[in-house]
Amino acid sequence: MNRRKFLGAMGVAGLGVAGAEKVLAAEDGVTGASVKDVKGLPDSYAVLFDVTRCIGCRQCEDACNYEQHLPEPDVDFFDTGVFQQIRRTDWKTYTVVNQYDDKPPGAGDLYRKIQCMHCLEPACAHSCFVKAFAKRHDGAVTYDPNVCVGCRYCMMACPFNIPAYEYHIALDPLVTKCTFCEHRLKDDREPACVEICPTGAMYFSTREEVLKEARVRVVNNPDKYQSHIYGEHEMGGTNWIYISGVPFEDVGMRMDLGTRAAGDYTSGALGGVPLIASFWPVLLVGAYAISKRREKIAKEERDSFVSQIIAEAGPEAGRRLAERLSRSETLDKAAIEEEVRKALNEAAAKTEREDH
């Protein structure tokens, strides 16, 4: 954390932008950021989904399909047969209601709606290498189809398995996901799924208000609700908040995601990249210089031995020795001395032969 804070301070101080409002990270529920100078989005829109109130009528799925001009569903929205299996979002479904076994038996079936959680610090946006995703200040995580390359790293990164892909389209497939009805948010209207819900299972307001409402319900009905507000801190916090009467795992929600935003996991590695770019040249060119220097010293030693031989045994022996040494890969002193001794012996033998 210290390093991040330091970097944050550097960023602000270095560019002379003072007065950024200090908001303590993750403690007030408005930001998942671990950088101090991030303001957070307390006024962004959010939705509270109350698992105890959902009856599985699937009207939200219908409304979403209509509002987003999605293709005809495979199965009619009034058909409860779909509850036989757990479904997920796909290219023609931005939201899905699943049925879970009642616990304890007889307490009534449980239903939970799935859609994009609209993370405060979205993994999809952090992982996108063309910035196709944006976290809007009204809370929506939006997608720009005009730059998407289709690498699908967003789908890898999303801890909630939300983005889907048009695998069946040959040339211009896109990633699909819930838009938080961003066109409606712009007019301060709730998303279509919230509007149509007949049981009030969803409550739409600012994130601050939604968290307050969640706390009120949980605190006033301790026997009815789990004492956990899902999405307040999960993966740095989300703009869709869940409360439930049963453990969240029982309605298919992972409790082991942790509170760190997805981007936080990669910041260490990405922070190391500039280090490599700026310090590797030092080490590599340093190693090169050392090996060059060693070569130079070896060459000087070789040359001095060669001239010594020329002085003692004549130019011809010196020339042959120099040639042999230049082919030799071993430049250490012992080897050179060995070569010198051999050359001297040869020269001596030759002189002897010439003498006779």
Nearer to another protein, 53 or 173 (CB): 173
- DSSP letter assigned to residue 99: E
The minimum distance between CB 21 and another protein, in angstroms, equals: 8
Cα–Cα distance for residue pair 215/228, rounded to 1 Å: 9
Minimum distance of another protein from residue 205's CB (angstroms): 19
In the bound state with another protein, the residue whose beta carbon lies nearer, of 291 and 345, is: 291
Backbone angles phi, psi at 11, to 5 degrees: -60, -45
State the virtual CA torsion across 230, 234, 240, 241 in degrees, nearest 10. 20
Pairwise CA distance, residues 89 & 17, whole Å: 42
Q: How far is the CB of 179 from another protein (least distance, A)?
A: 17
**Long-range interactions of 190-194: CB distance < 8 A, separation 24+:** 190/47, 191/47, 191/67, 192/60, 192/63, 192/64, 192/66, 192/67, 192/68, 193/60, 193/61, 193/63, 193/64, 193/95, 193/113, 193/115, 194/47, 194/60
User: What is the nearest approach in angstroms of another protein to the Cβ of residue 252?
Assistant: 12
Q: Give me the least distance between CB of 268 and another protein, in Å please.
A: 6
Q: Can you tell me the distance from the alpha carbon of 356 to that of 352, in angstroms, rounded to the nearest whole number?
A: 7
First to last CA, the chain: 87
Tokens of 213: 């409402």
The residue among 262, 207, 261, 209 whose CA lies nearest residue 236 is: 261
Q: Which is nearer to another protein, 55 or 155 (CB)?
A: 155
Q: How far is the CB of 327 from another protein (least distance, A)?
A: 11
Nearer CB in complex with another protein: 181/262: 262
Q: Which is nearer to another protein, 73 or 159 (CB)?
A: 159
Decide the pairing of beta strands 45-50 and 240-243.
parallel
Backbone angles phi, psi at 41, to 5 degrees: -125, 65
Closest contact distance (angstroms) between CB of 42 and another protein is 10
CA distance 212 to 157: 30
Q: Which of 40/191 has CB closer to another protein?
A: 40
State the alpha helices, DSSP H only, in 78-142.
123-127
Residue with tokens 């005809």: 72
Which one, 21 or 352, has the nearer CB to another protein?
21
In the complex with another protein, the residue whose CB is nearer, 36 or 217, is: 36
Nearest distance, CB of residue 223 and another protein, angstroms:
31
Query: Is the Cβ of residue 122 or residue 245 nearer to another protein in the bound state?
Result: 122
CB of 154 to another protein, least distance (A): 8
| 347 contacts 309 by C-beta, under 8 angstroms | yes
